[in-house]
Amino acid sequence: MTCLLAVESEKLDEEVIVDDVIKQSYGSGIYIEVDEKILLRDLLYGLMLRSGNDAALMVAKYVGGSVEEFVAMMNDKAKEIGMSQTRFSNPSGLDNTDSGNYSTAYDMALLTRYAMRYSWYRKIVATSKHVVRTNKKTYVWHNKNKLLKESYITGGKTGYTEKAKRTLVSTASSANLNLVVVTIKDSDDWNTHKSLYQYAFNHYTAYPVLKKKTFQVVGEKFYRSNGKLYIKNDVYLPLKNEIKGNLVGKVVLEKKKKVHNHEKVGYYAIYLDKKLLYQEDIYFQKKKTKISLGRSF
């Protein structure tokens, strides 16, 4: 979540001057120093590759203005994503307060799926080695995520706290099948993740259901007369190879008297028989106004 909010801040190329906030850090760190100058995106590499708790505090201070305000941002974003069983109390994830940080494997999967929308996030978590040169020293960081040696792994994050023990989030992709695995309190997490991915790749296929370039809504009049409806993503549904039943699509549009350009106006629901599998948001794009220039005689 700390990395995600930094990516969304659009400040990745800004220079951060490290301050005294890092003195509150303990546990794993990247050992940055007060008055050291480092790019925000490089702090994120130290955060995600090496679990730098000092980097987490500095990122929070820089992006949020204060660590306390950043934690509030974290909890607001968690609600937005739908992480209903999550509560953050610090930007590092350490169990350093009575309330600690609370979450579930499912909520961490929701967070990871959301974060993987961002190219910078995907690039950072997929990096095996990163070199940083600052005004004080040179760092060489190797990713703790050993799963990156597997060809299908696209990213992830390792973790450990006294309460959660070994934790691991990983992502993988093969033949348009994009997956997330999250484990908590698993002493054999590397093998657990690999076996779950192999099971999924062997038993599931990603079926193309919607294409953003060819998306159309048949029979709709109001939006069609004023512009067009579109979706932002190609949709592939992971279904078991021996699946039985019929996929059915249903368009649900809001009735609006006034609609703004690129506003969400409904969703496309996909059912397997009567079971809802997926919903993709539908947006409206206004027709371009043609401007005619008159002639003077």
pLDDT at 293: 58
- 65 lies in the same domain as 107: yes
Q: Whole-angstrom Cα distance, residue 232 to residue 238?
A: 19
Predicted confidence band of residue 224 (pLDDT cuts 50, 70, 90): confident
Could you tell me if 193 and 160 lie in one domain?
yes
Q: What is the DSSP code (8-state) at residue 232?
A: S
118 shares a domain with 26: yes
Tens-place pLDDT, residues 9-63:
999 999 999 999 999 998 999 999 999 999 999 999 999 999 999 999 999 999 9
**129 and 257 share one domain:** no
Reported as type and span, the H/E element at residue 285 is: strand 275-286
Please give the tally of structural domains in the chain: 2
Together in a domain, 165 and 70: yes
> Assign residue 4 a region: left if phi > 0, alpha if psi is -120 to 50, beta otherwise?
alpha
Last residue of a domain, one of 180, 205, 230: 205
Q: What is the dihedral of CA 114, 120, 126, 131, to 10 degrees?
A: -150
CATH number at residue 249: 2.60.410.10
Q: What is the pLDDT of residue 98?
A: 67
User: Is pLDDT at 290 greater than 80 in this prediction?
Assistant: no
pLDDT class for 97, splitting at 50, 70, 90?
Answer: low
Please give the pLDDT value at position 219: 77
Kindly state the average pLDDT of the residues 84-88.
Answer: 96
Residue 122: strand, helix, or coil: helix
Do the domain assignments include residue 160? yes
Amino acid 294: pLDDT? 56
Q: Answer whether residue 291 shows pLDDT above 60.
A: no
Tell me the pLDDT band of 210, cut-offs 50, 70 and 90: very high
Question: Cα(156)–Cα(179) distance, rounded to whole angstroms?
Answer: 11
Give the distance between the most distant pair of CA atoms in the chain: 85
Residue at 180: amino acid letter: V
18 residue type, one letter? V
In a domain, 223, yes or no: yes
Domain that holds residue 128: 2-205
> Residues 41, 147: one domain?
yes
Whole-structure pTM value: 0.85
DSSP track, 155-220: EEEEEEETTTEEEEEEEEEETTEEEEEEEES-TTHHHHHHHHHHHHHHHEEEEEEE-TTT---TT-
Same domain, 19 and 163: yes
pLDDT digits 0-9 by tens, 241-263: 887 778 899 999 998 878 899 99
